Amino acid sequence: MVMNKKRKVFMCRLPLVNYVILGIMAAVLVPFAVWSILRIAEVGTFYSVNPTFDVIALVAEVLVTAFIVALTLLTRYVVTPKHFVVQRIVATKIPVDKLLLLRHEMSENMLVLYFADARAPEGVRFVVLRVFNKQMQAIVAAIQEVNPHVSYEMFDNSRKDGDD
């Protein structure tokens, strides 16, 4: 969590598969980028039959790698006095006065933030917040600090309380 006087930033905890895919993509795209550079520079036995194609391939490899890294590593949540912001590639701003409820799902260890939205069919939307365990209470406190009317509840979907 990064803090300054008015803004609190929380990193997103992505599923392990996202980090595995990032590693695989890096392992595949980086050698191809090096190979394209060697072909463009005509180093050793590498030569370029079509330099334009090699430059386009190199730019595409770098852009795809940068996009995946940005999507994986720059996803975060920002709490400001006026907005709750979900930053991915594009930022989604939710006014703090529209925040309604925080539900902590224990078995999945995630937070679900409900907020009022007139464009939604029921008038309420939600966003799933995946933060690291050590930041869980800090993000709840930050949201309740900017809007004390936000309720917080904990539940566990893995437990079945049936009448069987």
Residue 91 placed within a domain: yes
Q: Is residue 79 part of a domain?
A: no
Is residue 3, in this structure, part of any structural domain at all? no
Q: Could you list the mean pLDDT of each consecutive 10-residue stretch along the chain, which spans 164 residues?
A: 71 83 84 85 81 86 82 86 90 93 86 91 91 90 93 81 49
Structural domain containing residue 147: 87-155
SS3 assignment for the chain: CEECCCCEEEEECCCHHHHHHHHHHHHHHHHHHHHHHHHHHCCCCCCCCCHHHHHHHHHHHHHHHHHHHHHHHCCEEEECCCEEEEECCCEEEEEHHHEEEEEEECCCCEEEEEEECCCCCCCEEEEEECECHHHHHHHHHHHHHHCCCCEEEEECCCCCCCCC
Q: Tell me, yes or no, whether 2 lies in a domain.
A: no
Domain count, the chain: 2
With respect to residue 5, please indicate whether it lies within any of the assigned structural domains: no
The predicted pLDDT at position 163 comes to 47
How confident is the model at residue 160, as a pLDDT? 61
| Residue 107 lies inside a defined structural domain of this protein | yes
Domain check: are 132 and 106 in the same one?
Answer: yes
Q: Is residue 67 part of a domain?
A: yes
- Dihedral in degrees, nearest 10, Cα atoms 93, 79, 135, 88: 30
| Residue 60 placed within a domain | yes
